[in-house]
Amino acid sequence: MRVNQNPSRLMACLSVVSLVAFMLNSGVPAPFDPVSKRPSFVLQSGGLAYKSYPARTQGAPSSMMQMPMVIPLFIQNQDFSSTLVLTNSADQSTYADVILMGTDGREITRRRVEFTAHSQRNIDIAPLLQSVLSGSTTGSISIMQSPELLGAVILGQLSMTHRGTHDSTYIDEEVAMPTTMGSQLLRGVADAGSGSPLLAITSLSETGQRVTIRCFPSKGESRSKSVDLLPGETLLTEACAERTIHGAVMESFAPSEPTEHRSLTGPMGISLVSDAKPGSFVAFGLVPHRKDGERFFSTLNFSDPKMLLTATTIFTGVPVGPTTLLREANYVPNLSLTNFSAKDLQVHVRYAQTIGATPTTKEIAALTVPAGSSTEITFDNLQGDPLQNSFLITSNGAPGDLLSKLVSMSGSALHQVEMAGKDENDMDNTGSHPWSLEGGTESTLLLFNHNTKPQSFDVAISGNGVRWQSTYHLTPMQTEAISIRDLIEHKVKDETGKTLPRSAQSGQLSWFTGAPGQGKGRLLQSNRAVAMARNFSCGAPGGLCSASFVPGITYILLGSGTTNFGTAFGIQCTADPNNPRPCFGTFNGPGSGYQYNWVSNDHNIILIDHSAPSGQGNAVFVNGVAIGSTGVHAQIYDSQGCNASTGGIGHVTSPTYFFSPSAAQTGTPSVCVINNFRGYFLDVSYYVADSSSSRVSDSGMAPGENLGDGTGWHDAYTTPNTTNSDGSFDDTPFGACYPPSVPTHYCEAGPPQSFRLTANSTVYSILTHNTSRKCTDGIQLVIQGNPSAQNKTYTFGNIQ
């Protein structure tokens, strides 16, 4: 079975790709079609106009079958409400199918959820049940993203709310995706509670299976029991007590809760072993608590030890002490540990605290956890920034031997703040989270660089049609808290000068680091007034998968010095969790931290001068060496071995001619009219052409004229003073008016016009030259010196 490399979550919030065919039980859709081609991507992010010749990327995706994401437990009754929160990290519109199933495995209803690019959707479970008049209160949820998508694009979790006697508590259940690459074993750690944890075990098999549940308490011997899981069933059972009720719903356990189950229990490790093949079940648990007569729950998440890569677990952005973002209280970290192995393990707890932007790291605990037992540590004397604190838990065991759970406890109505632990080398180097500021909610992105080198985090926040992108640079062991409300209210500009609009109150957020094992991130949604804190830490692998080119000046003037040819952007994709090289997937947007090598196909025409970072991309500056055209492209690499290339065709030209497409008569100026002068005036349109008669489409070139009258060159005679981006300009007003004293029809030769062009301080001679005849009742302009097809004569009125 393949699960997410997440030590404290069972296959946490991974998406819908697997190497194996997969069949749910009756009432569940048949296997989805294999994905055998790349979708047609449409880049929309950042307002960038991606213009380039087709980018080259390496590798093609293998044919894959889809698997659903699974949420093992939803509860929707008078005590619990459930909302499915999904995000789309792709730079394209898409959809996902949401399927509700009862505890008996039968489908209750399904709903297709549409997404715009980089968006989030909240799906309340109650109306879905009501829409089919279902009386079900408990079950599981399956989520299938569009088969057109590659990689883990749709991510999400179930946000449950438990309404207590006085206050509500908030439970976050991340989605799981099982695969056959893992084992038949799941492990999890429950914090100290009041009674046995309640487990929901969901079968994903078409055959029955037996699951052995073993509890590893802090005191006494471990105990175990076995349950038989029917195909497709969601079985509710008390992990460390006897009760197992097939077909039960949540209410089956609440009313008759035995007294002994309310007794205080210490931390508890729980392992689940199935006799079915890997990938046949998922599980989630609720840990009951009682405090001052109030009943509330914390979460119990599972992970597959086979899929963990290290023996270090990282918790990012842990509240320590008082914080204005949370209900007023002193928050104290509490760490629960279980040693599932048969030998004693040495455990070290490191605390990385950041004040301002300066991190300090120290070991705050070193202990031995005996074989097959659980323990807990409360850090009640810890000082810290309210949120910029992270923990690293390391043991000398094998990955998965020691698992941990960390919560921040308080004496307030917000009893516990939970956060997901992540394996140090977790393959997920991207995150996709929902954010909200509605109803006084705050959203804070927490980033942690646990690497020994400085690390860049690309952050993209989408809301109300705007995508805000910026790169945060964190020093080793630095935790950074980023308030989305602050970004909006302080009108913080991103790397392209954009700000998030005040009207944006919710949306989707992505973060990305260059490679796995370098940084972690999570989003905290909190509301001080209602004592709410929710954790969102879904992630996926990501890598460089494509590139795009935004051209600058591609018509390079010969001898004009260094020219900004354009900017290349490496495009980051959300990738397939099952592929060891995440070099393809669904487009997420431009990423940073890539290496760019610029190459000219012909150094005798265009020479690369230098390149420099430009926003999230890399700009190249070139010199035109000789007249001609050649390709200039960037080869882009990331630290995971992915590469892509992009670029454009450059043309080295020498401005030679002014070609005129048209001329039009203008109104007579008042200065003539008020003096009773008569005459004709024209607006003559031109554009710059090179020696091969090709248009030089470049702005900022200054055409100049010389009338041979001793006043010299006039380099601002045109309208506008310099060329438009298509190399065009106008000569207006061209003409003359004469006094009443001359005959009604009077003509004279106008002064000859000769031309030049100035660009980048270089002056180019222009071969075009004009003569004219100006009359009281007509005008003629003769354009010469061009290739014959471009020589023109404009005649208006009587010029004889």
Partner 1 sequence: MNQAQRSLCRALVLSCIVIGYASLGLGQASDPKSSAIIEQIMTAALSRCFSTVNAVKRITFAPPTNQEVDEVKALGKEAVAPLARYLDLQPKDDFTQLYAVKFLTAIGGSSTIGPLKRAFAQDQWEVTRAAALSGLFAVSHAEAKPYVEAALNDRSQLVRQRAHHLWSLY
Interface with partner 1, residue 716, by CB under 8 A: yes
Answer whether 653's CB lies under 8 Å from 762's CB.
Answer: no
Closest distance to partner 1 from the beta carbon of 501 (Å): 16
Judge whether 626 and 605 are in contact, CB under 8 Å: yes
**Are the C-beta atoms of residues 507 and 120 closer than 8 Å to each other?**
yes
- CB atoms under 10 Å from CB of 278, counted, come to 20
126 or 763, CB closer to partner 1?
763
**Of residues 131 and 765, the one with the C-beta less far from partner 1:** 765
CA atoms within 13 A on the CB side of 742: 14
How far apart CA 86 and CA 88 sit, in angstroms, is 7
DSSP-derived secondary structure for 359-381: EEEEEEEEEEE-TTEEEEEE-TT
Site for partner 1 in 43-82 (CB under 8 A): none
CB of 504 to partner 1, least distance (A): 21
- Residue 165 binds to partner 1 (criterion: CB under 8 A): no
Q: How far apart are CA 533 and CA 408, in angstroms?
A: 11
Q: Per-residue x/- mask for partner 1, residues 672 to 691, rule CB under 8 A?
A: x-xx-x-x-x-x-x------
Is the N-terminal amide bond of 733 cis, ω within 30° of 0?
yes
CB of 739 to partner 1, least distance (A): 5
Q: How far is the CB of 563 from partner 1 (least distance, A)?
A: 20
Stretch that binds partner 1, among 214-222, 359-367, 619-627, 723-731 (CB under 8 A): 723-731
Question: Among residues 304 and 494, whose Cβ is nearest to partner 1?
Answer: 494
Most distant CA pair in the chain, distance: 123
Nearest distance in Å: CB 150, partner 1: 34
Closest approach of partner 1 to the CB of residue 748, in Å: 7
46 φ, ψ (degrees, to nearest 5)? 65, 5
Q: Is the dihedral of CA 492, 498, 584, 567 positive or negative?
A: negative
Given 74, 584, 738, 794, the residue binding partner 1 (CB under 8 A) = 738
Tell how far CA 389 is from the center of its chain. 24
Strand pairing of 655-665 and 678-690? antiparallel
Neighbouring CB atoms inside 10 A of 628's CB total 16
Per CB under 8 A, the list member of 165, 453, 712, 744 interacting with partner 1 is 712
Q: Please list the residues that pair with 742 across neighbouring strands.
A: none
| Residue 726 makes contact with partner 1 by CB under 8 A | yes
**Is residue 796 part of the contact set for partner 1 (CB under 8 A)?**
no
Closer Cβ to partner 1, 630 or 722, answer by number: 722
List 36, 63, 207, 719, residue binding partner 1 (CB under 8 A): 719
The minimum distance between CB 714 and partner 1, in angstroms, equals 4
* Interface pick for partner 1 out of 666, 694, 791, 798 (rule CB under 8 A): 666
The answer to whether residues 265 and 193 touch, using CB atoms and an 8 Å cutoff, is yes
727 binds partner 1 (CB under 8 A): no
* Nearer of residues 526 and 728 to partner 1, judged by Cβ: 728
User: Any contact of residue 777 with partner 1 (CB under 8 A)?
Assistant: no
Q: How far is it, in rounded angstroms, from Cα 174 to Cα 732?
A: 68
- Considering the complex, state which of residue 127 and residue 720 has its C-beta at the smaller distance from partner 1: 720
* Per-residue mark of binding to partner 1, 645-664 (x: CB under 8 A): -------------------x
Interactions with partner 1, residue window 739-768 (CB under 8 A): 739, 741-742, 746, 748
| Interface region with partner 1, contact rule CB under 8 A, candidates 48-56, 144-152, 728-736, 792-800 | 728-736
Closer by beta carbon to partner 1, 707 or else 767: 707
CB of 378 or CB of 721, closer to partner 1: 721
Any idea which residue has 């199918």 for tokens?
Answer: 97
Pairing assessment for the beta strands 606-614 and 223-229 based on DSSP bridges: unpaired
Alpha-carbon separation of residue 385 from 269, 389, 500 (angstroms): 30, 7, 27
Cα separation of 645 and 634, whole Å?
Answer: 5
- Of 613 and 740, CB closest to partner 1: 740
Least Cβ distance, residue 467 to partner 1 (angstroms): 18
- B/e letters for 14-41, b = 16+ CB within 10 Å, e = fewer, are bbbbbbbebebbeebeeebeebeebbeb
The span of 77-85, 331-339, 350-358, 714-722 binding partner 1 (CB under 8 A) equals 714-722
Q: Does 667 bind partner 1 (CB under 8 A)?
A: yes
Stretch that binds partner 1, among 155-163, 275-283, 525-533, 708-716 (CB under 8 A): 708-716
Least spacing, CB of residue 676 vs partner 1, in Å? 11
What is the closest distance, in whole angstroms, from the C-beta atom of residue 678 to partner 1 in the complex? 10
Instruction: List the beta bridge partners of residue 536.
Output: 523
- Beta-strand (E) ranges in 164-258? 168-174, 185-190, 193-194, 198-203, 209-217, 223-229, 234-238, 244-245
Minimum distance, C-beta of residue 737 to partner 1, in the bound complex (Å): 5
Among 194, 412, 732, 754, binds partner 1 (CB under 8 A): 732
Q: Cβ(458)–Cβ(551) under 8 Å?
A: no
**Strand stretches in 638-752, DSSP E:** 643-653, 655-665, 678-690, 702-706, 713-714, 728-738, 747-749
Determine the interface stretch with partner 1 among 98-106, 167-175, 599-607, 712-720 (rule: CB under 8 A).
712-720
737 binds partner 1 (CB under 8 A): yes
Question: Looking at 154-162, 415-423, 450-458, 668-676, which segment touches partner 1 (CB under 8 A)?
Answer: 668-676
Site for partner 1 contains 637 (CB under 8 A): no
Footprint of partner 1 on 227-266 (CB under 8 A) = none
- Smallest gap from residue 680 Cβ to partner 1 (A): 11
**How far is residue 649 from each of residues 21, 497, 566, 608, measured CA to CA in Å?**
45, 28, 11, 13
Site string for partner 1, 76-115 (x = CB under 8 A): ----------------------------------------
> Using CB under 8 A, which of 113, 735, 757, 770 touches partner 1?
735
Choose among 215, 222, 91: nearest CA to 153.
91
Which is nearer to partner 1, 102 or 679 (by Cβ)? 679
- How far apart are CB 709 and partner 1 at their closest, in Å? 9
Euclidean distance between the first and the last CA atom of the chain, given in angstroms as a whole number: 94
CB of 721 to partner 1, least distance (A): 5
Residue among 255, 307, 239, 236 at smallest CA distance from 9: 307
Residues with Cβ within 8 Å of 789's Cβ and at least 6 positions away in sequence, in order, are none
Q: CA 506 to CA 326: how far, in whole Å?
A: 19
- In contact, 666 and 715? CB cutoff 8 Å: no
Which residue type does 538 have? C
Interaction between residue 501 and partner 1 (CB under 8 A): no
CA distances to 265, 451, 590, 620, 627 from 599, in Å: 66, 33, 21, 10, 18
Task: Provide, rounded to whole angstroms, the least separation between the CB of residue 706 and partner 1.
Answer: 10
Cα 668 to Cα 679: distance, rounded to the nearest angstrom: 7
Q: Which of 714, 763, 765, 793 binds partner 1 (CB under 8 A)?
A: 714
Part in contact with partner 1 (CB under 8 A); list of ranges 43-51, 392-400, 587-595, 715-723 = 715-723
Q: Which is nearer to partner 1, 544 or 737 (CB)?
A: 737
In this structure, are residues 509 and 485 in contact, taking their beta carbons and an 8 Å threshold? Answer: no
**Interacting residues with partner 1 (CB under 8 A):** 664, 666-667, 669-672, 674-675, 677, 679, 681, 683, 685, 705, 711-717, 719-722, 724-726, 728, 730, 732-739, 741-742, 746, 748, 774
